[in-house]
A and B are shown apart, each in its own frame.
Chain A
Amino acid sequence: MSTEKIYVKNHYRYEFIIVFSIAVILFGLIFDSPKEIIEGYYRILTSPSQLLTDYMAVGGIGATFFNAGILMLLAAIVLWKRKQLLTGPIIAALFALFGFSLFGKNLFNTIPITMGVYIYGKIEGIEFNTLTINSLFGTALGPAVSYICFGLGLPFYQGFFISYGVGILIGLVLPPLSKSFLKFHQGYTLYNLGFTCGIIGLFIQGVLKSFSLEVSNIRLISPGDNLKIAVFMYAFFIFSFVGGYFLNGKSFSNFKNLLSNSGRAPSDFGHIYGRGICLINMALLGIIYTTFVLYMGQPLNGPILGGIFTIFGFGIFGKHLKNVIPILIGTVLAYALNIYEPKSVPAMVTVLFATNLAPIAGEYGMFAGIVAGFAQVSIVSVVGLLHGGLNLYNNGFSGGFVAATLVPIYNAIRESRFFNMRRDKDD
């Protein structure tokens, strides 16, 4: 079999994603009856969904897992049918989709954005497969659709047509914008679409404000159910770890090499180091962050689980133990020193999603990563007001500014004649 065929065979296995999605849907039945799940799911679909709307508080835990599982399952089936290879960025995007479906994304608000991206591909003659990342991550603006339809008090049909029109428009402008904004931070935030969606959200918020329809952030947070959810999480991560160990030929080979990668996008760890070791890395990240959340006495609710699963997904596309720890230290340090409450759900959400800046620590070192984490905490609290919570990837929005500011400074220091000893020696 040719190398290409082996590659395609290995990267066309959606079983893991499909089994996980179904397991999550079934797991929801532990918390609520099917009737309660259906009623809760309806409340989720009709929720305005802006940040911070924990779907566990809106529709219950069972319905939230149903919403996240069904969305991931449908996305996986569509990608599988379209013969999309399951590469690192696609795995990261699927787990981000899952994670954010616990607090903001649902079937209703993701459809028009995906349609918009699809129409853009048709207009430009570009295959949809090349736009998959845009369509999956772009659903971060789902709350813009839900809020217009259900949050403005419009009659349903009027709200539906306006919100879907806006959603399709968002999908149409996302691909060219997201590509352009990648250059802004040069791949040093892993949530580039978060930055892009933040800018679009800013425009939407501006328009809404000019009609006195300004969106404000809310805090609808559930206490979760730590014991049952923690058992499920640890079981899943241990299963992933063991699976990765076997896939990696019952060894940890390449783990050291993976840790030496900066993580700067694009870095498909699966392509570079193999699937097995990536699963081990993903599982370790999941275990460490779940344990950290529990140690801090925080609930395993929608936003926090969303953060953990997003970190897990990006364990194959940019994040690893070595480059996330400095960010973690920086964020914790910031919360210890600043005026914000460190033991709160919004603080924990920032600690988790700040890992989008992991490539900075990977490329420029521990201290640079700590500074990036520290800066993220300060900036994220400011930028959220700009889009009023319409962009779910608020940390990606903030991360774009932090990376775009710090990376040129770090480069200047690295290239400075005072620090570049090698160049001085050569001269």
Chain B
Amino acid sequence: MTKLKNEQKYTKIITGGLMYYYFNKGVENLNINIDIKPDYIVINAGGRVKLSSSDLSKLEILKNPMRLPEFENYYDVLIDYNDSSNEISNIDGLSSIIDASEVDYDGEFLSIKLRRNF
């Protein structure tokens, strides 16, 4: 698999993971923007959701991402939107395949920006 194809695959996985999270929180209007650069990819998502303090503490995991080699080519298949996904497992998985993140919540609007280096 070429590098670009591999990164396109991960873009789909990350986007799926984000959609799962937002839909789980009952978002009605979700914007996702994907920007592919020569060396990295940035995925921006934003939508109005109601988050509890417990939800915010779970999102802390996403604020401290660390790319883990053992997750790639293995557990990444479980990060996606399907009926049996689990929120915390999804967040933990996402944080293990990205290099940097920005998470911002103003009480109504949640924006998540994730970056993955090639």
Q: Point out residues on A near B: beta carbons under 8 Å.
A: 3-4, 7-8, 84-85, 87, 89-90, 126-127, 129-134, 175, 178-179, 182-183, 186-188, 257, 261-262, 264-268, 271-272, 359, 363, 407-408, 411, 415
Contact = CB atoms under 8 A, between A and B. Distances in A.
Given A126-B73, A132-B70, 20 more contacts: A7-B66, A8-B66, A87-B70, A130-B72, A178-B74, A182-B75, A182-B77, A182-B78, A183-B78, A187-B86, A188-B84, A257-B57, A262-B89, A266-B92, A267-B88, A268-B92, A271-B92, A271-B95, A407-B84, A415-B83
A380 B61 CA distance: 37
A261 B61 CA distance: 14
A130 B92 CA distance: 17
B61 A272 contact: yes
Interface in B79-107: 82-86, 88-89, 92-93, 95-96
Given A3-B64, A179-B77, A187-B78, A264 B72 contact: no
Interface residues of B, number: 25
A266 B73 contact: no
A175 B69 CA distance: 14
A268 B96 contact: yes
B32 interface: no
Nearest to A359: B86
B34 interface: no
Interface in B44-70: 57, 61, 64, 66, 68-70
23 contacts: A85-B66, A87-B68, A89-B70, A89-B75, A126-B73, A130-B74, A178-B74, A179-B73, A182-B75, A182-B78, A188-B84, A265-B78, A266-B75, A267-B89, A268-B96, A271-B61, A271-B66, A271-B92, A272-B92, A359-B86, A408-B84, A411-B84, A415-B83
Contacts of B73: 126, 130-131, 175, 179
A266 B17 CA distance: 13
Contacts of A85: 66, 68
B71 interface: yes
A132 B69 contact: yes
A266 B69 contact: no
Interface of B: 57, 61, 64, 66, 68-75, 77-78, 82-86, 88-89, 92-93, 95-96
Contact of A264 (B61, B83, B89, B96): B89
Contact of A266 (B64, B84, B96): B96
Contact of B77 (A8, A183, A261, A262): A183
B55 to A, nearest CB: 13
B75 A264 contact: no
B93 A266 contact: yes
B74 A179 contact: yes
Given A87-B70, A89-B70, A261 B78 contact: no
Contacts of B95: 271
A411 B74 contact: no
A114 B112 CA distance: 39
A187 B68 contact: no
A4 B115 CA distance: 15
Given A178-B74, A265-B78, A266-B78, A129 B88 contact: no
B11 to A, nearest CB: 18
Nearest to A271: B92
A408 B86 CA distance: 14
Contacts of B82: 186
Contacts of A90: 70
A4 B75 CA distance: 21
Given A262-B86, A264-B86, A268-B92, A129 B74 contact: no
A85 B93 CA distance: 16
